[in-house]
Amino acid sequence: MSIDAETARKVAKLARIRVEEDELSALAGEFNTILGFIEQLQTVDVEGVEPMTSVTPQRLKRRADTVTDGDRQAAVLANAPDAREGFFAVPKVVE
């Protein structure tokens, strides 16, 4: 798989990361290096091997269905660039 400058632009846009026009081909090159490494990994035969999801045997930690959090509107909004009447205020998003 080869990533060109156009694909790099699309990926950057999807990730909402601004990349200048003249940096796109270099970025595409870096992607290709990473993907080349992954292609190398894909040559390993993993037929019948369960994906390892944890280094030590662990069970997904669970919580009980009880309300233990919330009621901290001020703290939740504390870092917002703009907040009004208890809401985050963001530039108008129109469908």
Partner 1 sequence: MLDLTYEPPAPKVIQGARDDWELVIGLEVHAQVASAAKLFSGASTLFGAEPNANVAFVDAGMPGMLPVINEGCVALAVKTGLGLKAAINLTSAFDRKNYFYPDLPQGYQISQLYHPIVGEGEVIVDMAPGIARRVRIERIHLEQDAGKSIHDMDPALSFVDLNRTGVALMEIVSRPDIRGPEEAAAYVLKLRQIMRYLGTCNGDMQNGNLRADVNVSVCRPGDYERYQESGDFAHLGTRCEIKNMNSTRFIQAAIEVEARRQIAILEDGGTVVQETRLFDPDKSETRSMRSKEEAHDYRYFPDPDLLPLEIEQAWVDDIATSLPELPDEKKARFVLDYGMTEYDADVLTAEVENAAYFEQVAQVSGDGKASANWVINELFGQLKKDDRDIGDSPLSAAQLGRIVALIRAGDISGKIAKDLFEIVYLEGGDPEAIVDERGMRQVTDTGAIEAAVDDVIAANPAQVEKARANPKLAGWFVGQVMKATGGKANPAAVNRIVQDRLGL
Please list every residue from 11 through 30 that binds partner 1, using CB under 8 A: 14, 16
One of 21, 55, 60, 81 touching partner 1 (CB under 8 A) = 60
d(C-alpha 72, C-alpha 84), whole Å: 15
Torsion of CA 5, 7, 8, 13, to 10 degrees: 130
- DSSP H/E element including 77: helix 73-77
String marking each residue 74-93 x if it binds partner 1 according to CB under 8 A: -xxx----x-xxxxxxxxxx
DSSP class per residue in 17-37: ----GGGHHHHHHHHHHHHHH
Residue 73 binds partner 1, judged by CB under 8 A: yes
Q: With binding defined as CB under 8 A, does residue 35 bind partner 1?
A: no
Q: Which is nearer to partner 1, 2 or 59 (CB)?
A: 59
Binding positions for partner 1, rule: CB under 8 A? 10, 14, 16, 53-54, 58-73, 75-77, 82, 84-95
